């Protein structure tokens, strides 16, 4: 009997693996969801979307996967990490160029990043971090990728890029608008950057979850007026507002 009790103690845990940029918003949503679903404990795991997807593919426990771009979710579908039928977009964001709050650098365009005065620029690694892919696309479209990437300081996720700028370890960095908003006293938005691909966030139920009903209920909560209001509070836009 003791084993059964022990097993059931974990049966009500819902593991949500979500993009680093969702950290603050999903902590609030997770708490609210628990209040509406007594007995369910939401365990949150944050990181670069591709890294989370690979963790799940290798057997890490997860019931819900929320990505900061479509490409990471496309990979999750291709590798059968998620149930494709449950995939839905739930939020949109914007890419911004930030500088330390005390910086005198005020670029008029991305082309100003090619200046010899700007030596270190932080952004997520495009190989594994959605914000890095959005950044690469924007810089390529502006014709400055080769010059700017030569100054690149690669971050493991978007929050690391934010930290590099907030500590003045780089001259500028690329993050999402929602990340810049959590450190208004430490960083300044220098440019809102147009991206060739809209910044959109998909979510899906992890394939083979033993908590499918709860996972679907959590996604519905994120999409509900209450969940969307919490995302909006942290600066996210509705999924349709690209």
Q: Residue 240 has what pLDDT?
A: 77
Q: What is the length of the chain?
A: 242
| Phi then psi dihedrals of residue 218, to 5 deg | -65, -45
The reported pLDDT for the residue numbered 147 is: 97
Other beta carbons within 10 angstroms of residue 230's beta carbon come to 23
Q: What is the pLDDT of residue 5?
A: 32
Residue 11: its pLDDT value, please?
56
Distance CA 140, CA 148 (A): 10
User: What contacts 108, CB < 8 A, 6 or more positions away?
Assistant: none
* pLDDT on residue 241: 54
Quick one: average pLDDT of 54-81? Answer: 97
Q: What is the b/e burial string over 86-108, where b = at least 16 CB atoms within 10 angstroms of the residue's CB?
A: bbebbbbbbbbbbbbeeeebeee
Residue 46: which H helix or E strand, with range?
strand 41-47
Using the predicted structure, report yes or no on whether residue 191 has a pLDDT greater than 50. Answer: yes
CATH architecture of the domain covering 2-92+200-233: 3-Layer(aba) Sandwich (3.40)
Taking CA atoms, 160 is separated from 12, 114, 166, 207, 235, in Å, by: 32, 23, 10, 29, 19
CATH, domain range 95-193:
3.40.190.10
Q: What is the pLDDT confidence band of residue 10, given thresholds at 50, 70 and 90?
A: low
88, pLDDT greater than 80: yes
Q: Distance between terminal CA atoms of the chain?
A: 53
User: What residue ranges of the chain are covered by domains with CATH 3.40.190.10?
Assistant: 2-92+200-233, 95-193
Distance, CA of 235 to CA of 229 (rounded, Å): 10
Q: Does position 9 have pLDDT exceeding 50, yes or no?
A: no
For the chain, what is the mean pLDDT? 94
**Mean pLDDT across 189-199:** 97
């Amino acid at each position: 009997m003791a084993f059964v009790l022990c097993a059931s103690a974990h049966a009500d845990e819902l593991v949500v693996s979500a993009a680093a940029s969702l950290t603050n918003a999903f902590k609030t949503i997770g708490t609210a969801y628990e209040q509406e679903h007594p007995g369910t404990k939401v365990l949150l795991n944050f990181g670069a979307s591709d890294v989370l997807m690979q963790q799940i593919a290798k057997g890490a426990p997860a019931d819900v996967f929320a990505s900061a771009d479509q490409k990471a979710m496309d990979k999750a579908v291709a590798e059968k990490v998620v149930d494709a039928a449950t995939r839905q977009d739930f939020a949109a964001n914007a890419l911004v160029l930030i500088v330390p709050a005390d910086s005198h650098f005020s670029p008029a365009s991305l082309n100003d990043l090619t200046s010899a005065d700007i030596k270190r620029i932080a952004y997520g690694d495009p190989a594994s971090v959605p914000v890095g892919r959005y950044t690469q696309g924007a810089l390529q479209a502006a014709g400055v990728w080769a010059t700017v990437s030569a100054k690149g300081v690669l971050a493991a996720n978007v929050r690391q890029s934010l930290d590099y700028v907030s500590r003045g370890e780089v001259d500028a960095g690329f993050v999402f608008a929602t990340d810049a908003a959590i450190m208004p006293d430490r960083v300044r938005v220098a440019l809102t950057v147009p991206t060739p691909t809209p910044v959109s966030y998909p979510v899906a139920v992890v394939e083979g979850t033993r908590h499918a009903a709860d996972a679907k209920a959590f996604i519905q909560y994120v999409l509900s007026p209450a969940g969307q209001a919490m995302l909006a509070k942290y600066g996210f836009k509705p999924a349709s507002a690209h």
